[in-house]
Amino acid sequence: MNNDLPTGWATVRLADVLREPLVNGRSVRTREDGLPVLRATALRPVMVDFTQTKSGDWTPDNAPALAEPSDLLVSRVSGSRSLVGEGALVDAPPHPTIFPDTMIRVRVEPSLVDPRYLAHLWNSPVVRRQIEARARQGGAAIYRINHGDLAQILLPLPTPGEQARIAALLEGHLARIDATTTRTRRAIDQADELTQTMSAQASVGRLSGADRAPGHLPPAGIHDGALPPLPADWHWTRLENIAEVTLGVTKNSRRQWDPTDLEVPCLRVANVQQGRLALEDVHSIRLPAQRAQAARLHTGDVLLTGGGDRSQLGRGWIWEEQIPEAIHQNHLFRARITGQQLHPKLLAWHANAFGSQWCERNATQTTGLASIGLGKIKLMPVPIAPAAEQQRLVALLDAHRAALETVSAAAERAVVVADRLRSNLLQQAFTGQLPDAAHPLGQQESTP
């Protein structure tokens, strides 16, 4: 806490400005026709989002722990140190709403602390640093904060009138920052959607010749659905006709350890996303040297997911030797194209669009998990273009994707700058450095 505060400011403990003791919410069982209960996602920055609720087993007559206007609700537990202790202000609940036992209610004396000022202060670096220093990590990598910790949080407080002024200034500035960030994130999403749309269209010939013929394949005992028409010089085939498709290795915890085994990186479903590989967290596995060599991924292999959420089956991307000696586990398929019949990028783009929908239709569903077997994935319909057209499409899409990625990277940097600007603005506001006409971009407000 910065002790160099302006004249008229004071540093006080949260415990010294409470109107009522800190209170935990209540554990609530789900019931379809019960009162709404806030979800953890309701704690948005500054304000509680009352659209984020579920139905709980309480009625208006016996409801405990209702969220009321001017309450600050604080997350008591989180899997992330940066989120535990996150706080949001209750404005005007649209109907009686319960807060759960994962939240702590803070009610301050309004003559001492403006609730809007407190909500902004709570999400500023001034308070966040204190919360993260006090958070304790318990079992299952869960971070916790308790009443005693919160009560000792130090709050920099000016006079009530100054608190109201700072809150009003912040709300104006932050609204502009948020609007700019929202527009930027929307542009990033649109660039990603355009990339996916162009890739899907390229893979089925919609960026090629205008003359098209109806799609057709002999029945194979699976649900192909309506195959898109292709340019006249394209044709449909099945994945097994153009690629060697194999499952990855199964981790066997009962197998006796052998000192001659090799420890190699092993990709999981989480590492294979739609149109990219997420390789920040790759596990390893020990295998006999011969088995590891046989399972090793090669440049150009297309990795496809075979288990998990039904809507995500068949997603994938191309292996390019990002990690030496890597293999894949048994919930992933490896499609290794034979005879250069199809460019790997066209297969991956097709799998992430038509192929994903095809896998969803043909998947087997068990409790909480969907999967598609090796025999079925081999039957996925795949469109094949002439070799020269494949090269043209890949070059065209690569150029468009590179341009969009450049724009997206610039937008991502702008979002980072906006987040830093928000943090700096809050730091200034609660150390007494926010002037009357402060502008979030460091400029003075113009007067008409």
pLDDT digits (tens, 9 = 90+) for 135-171: 998 776 799 999 999 999 999 999 999 999 999 999 9
What average pLDDT does this structure show over 298-319? 92
In the predicted structure, residue 373 carries a pLDDT above the cut 50? yes
Q: What is the DSSP letter of 52?
A: S
Say how many C-beta atoms besides its own lie within 10 A of residue 447's C-beta.
Answer: 5
In this prediction, residue 441 carries a pLDDT of 42
Q: What amino acid is encoded at 448 in this protein?
A: P
Contact assessment for residue 415 and residue 181, using Cβ atoms and an 8 Å cutoff: yes
Q: Which residue has better confidence, 30 or 426? A: 426
pLDDT of the residue at 281:
93
Mean pLDDT of the region 209-235: 90
- Give residue 3's region: left, alpha or beta (phi > 0; psi -120 to 50): alpha
Highest mean pLDDT among 17-21, 78-82, 274-278, 439-443: 17-21
Residue 257 makes CB contacts below 8 A (sequence gap 6+) with 286
**89 pLDDT more than 70:** yes
Q: How far apart are CA 395 and CA 12, in angstroms?
A: 63
pLDDT tens string 332-366: 999 999 999 999 999 999 999 999 999 999 999 87
Residue 116 CA to residue 110 CA, distance in Å, equals 10
Confidence of residue 235 (pLDDT cuts 50, 70, 90): very high
pLDDT at residue 445, rounded to an integer: 42
Q: How many helices (H) and strands (E) does the chain have?
A: 10, 28
| SS3 state of residue 127 | helix
pLDDT beyond 80 at 177: yes
33 pLDDT band, cuts 50/70/90, is confident
